[in-house]
Amino acid sequence: MRAKVIIGATAAALVLAVLPSAAAGGGPKPLPQANAEALASAPGHVAAPVVHRVGAREALAAAAQPGAQTEVAPGLTVEQAVGLTAAADGVAPRRLARTAASTICWNGQIHGSWGYWPYNQTVYDSTYWCAVSGGALSYRSTNVTHSATLCSGSGDYTFRISGGVGYTYVAYQVGASFTCPTDLPWITVYRSDWLDDEVNDYGSMFTYASS
């Protein structure tokens, strides 16, 4: 417990050291390398997911968002995968054969945050997925974004780890890279932040690992 108090006090002192320069110059200023590294590498935390049911058309529209990575079950059109139209008999795998009414879609929002202000970094996961009631996933579309204060984020990405459409779940990673400046232009702190998330055919979403 004492170690946690010391770490918290040190981080608070570093943040307070930024405040005068922020007030004088209208925004936070880069800190010396040791301070910047301490703030940027502070342990992260993951917010509780927010999941709700969505209509087929909203799920379909997610695939058109810039940066969205979408997978659709083999043998199905996107419209069939989200339940706008029924799959033809014999076209889709048996556990995906259904009427449009038997397909349920969800949207889940989850994010992870790392570092202390002004070296904070956040990665956001917005995923739409659809599943056959009592069957398997037929559609998933994941969009990754990021935010930061002093750090510059880039390279938003996602890739599948296991499961996927045709299965009852999909596990996947989302992440981004961050470049954080110090008071010396030629010295930069680099960060790579990620979440391993999972969604399933019951409409659940959770993070099971993170950087």
Q: pLDDT value at position 85?
A: 86
Domain ranges, ordered by start, for the chain = 31-210
Q: For residue 78, which amino acid is it?
A: V
DSSP 48: P
Instruction: List CB contacts of 112: < 8 A, sequence separation 6 or more.
Output: 44, 45, 46, 47, 122, 123, 193, 194, 195, 207, 210, 211
Q: pLDDT value at position 3?
A: 37
Per-10-residue mean pLDDT of the chain, 211 residues long, equals 41 49 71 98 96 97 96 93 76 50 92 98 98 88 98 98 97 98 97 98 97 96
Instruction: List CB contacts of 61: < 8 A, sequence separation 6 or more.
Output: none
Dist CA 58 CA 63 (whole Å): 9
Q: pLDDT value at position 148?
A: 98
Q: pLDDT value at position 24?
A: 54
